[in-house]
Amino acid sequence: MESLLLKALKRTNTSRPPVWFMRQAGRYHSHYQSIREKQSFVDLCKIPSLSAEVALGPVMEFGFDAAILFSDILFTLEAMGFGLDYENTGPKLSWQLRQKADLKHIEASASASAKLDFQGEAIKALRKSLPEDKAVIGFSGAPLTLFVYAVQGRHVPPLSEVEEGLKDGRFEGFCEPLIGILAESLAVQARSGADVITLFDTSAGDITFESYKQKVIPALTGVVERFRVQHDTPIIYYSKGTDHRHFDLLSDINIDCIGVDHRQNVKVLLEKYRNRFSVQGNFDQNLLLL
């Protein structure tokens, strides 16, 4: 049975729009809290049965149309040799990409992506438990957003140090191993049963448009092209703080859907891009507090 989400991504949906939320499994939910009381956050992500259980909870309770892999984008950096600790104050990297010379510390071997195989196992477990009419979404951070964390340790604008890294060669040096690692880890997710892949780029709107055009688009294209060699699984690209200029650039990349934030006018986007993309998002999360 084809899920509502897949139909929407193919633009063949004649029913209601599919519904799912970023972070739909998390602290707001009693199901998550009951499991989290007994397990560390890392265990919830890296033990496949626990990851699947957490991801399944909100779908079964609220009837969402898709379950998204319960994991974290920073595990990609961990696989690249950035030490990662989640104790006490939240995620913290053991080192940051402060200068070009730091690139030598990156784990660039072919085995780096294998360190993310637990995500594929979690997707297998989730797919077994999920009703057939519900989609499974795999994901990763997009190159720019991962670079922001590699350079700054967290995403806090203004991204002046990131902009510097986009100019001094750090971004290209970072993406050289990253593109292959991302493409392979996403391929593992697709082979394991992910119906859809999402690339999250929450930092996209916090750099200059020229940097996005000249640096980010080629890196994003590289990931998608490497992935497409192996899979035709639909890809959603979510970017925050972007506009039609960014979306125009995405038209030449082999993605299926653009995810937009609440500041965008979906009607306008659909009129402009209906023959190229599905459009997802535009929901103001503040409405959930009402």
Tell me: the pLDDT tens digits for 13-58? Answer: 888 999 999 989 998 899 999 999 999 999 999 999 999 999 999 9
Query: Three-state SS string across 42-94, please?
Result: HHHHHCHHHHHHHHHHHHHHHCCCEEECCCCCCHHHHHCCCCEECCCCCCEEC
Is the pLDDT reported for residue 289 higher than 80?
A: no
CATH number of 4-289: 3.20.20.210
- Model pLDDT, residue 52: 98
- Model pLDDT, residue 91: 94
Q: For residue range 159-177, what is the model confidence (pLDDT) as tens digits?
A: 999 999 999 999 999 999 9
Backbone angles phi, psi at 274, to 5 degrees: -60, -25
Domain ranges, ordered by start, for the chain: 4-289
Six-digit token string for 165 = 């890294």
> Mean of the per-residue pLDDT values for the chain?
95
CB atoms within 10 A of CB 33: 11
Spatial neighbors of 132 by CB under 8 A, at least 6 apart, are 1
CA–CA separation, 160 vs 202, rounded Å? 16
Residue 140, strand partner residues: 199
- Is the CB of residue 40 less than 8 Å from the CB of residue 8? no
| Backbone conformation region of residue 23, classed left if phi is above 0, alpha if psi is from -120 to 50, else beta | left
Give the distance, in angstroms, between the CA of residue 203 and the centroid of all CA atoms in the same chain: 12
Q: For residue range 129-143, what is the model confidence (pLDDT) as tens digits?
A: 999 999 999 999 999
- Residue found under tokens 């989290």: 36
- Model pLDDT, residue 288: 75
Q: For residue range 46-96, what is the model confidence (pLDDT) as tens digits?
A: 999 999 999 999 999 999 999 999 999 999 999 999 999 997 778 999 999
CA–CA separation, 116 vs 104, rounded Å? 21
pTM of the shown model:
0.96
> What is residue 99's DSSP assignment?
S
- Model pLDDT, residue 167: 98
- Model pLDDT, residue 290: 58
- Is the CB of residue 117 less than 8 Å from the CB of residue 45? no
Q: For residue range 212-261, what is the model confidence (pLDDT) as tens digits?
A: 999 999 999 999 999 999 999 999 999 999 999 999 999 999 999 999 99
Six-digit token string for 142 = 């997009």
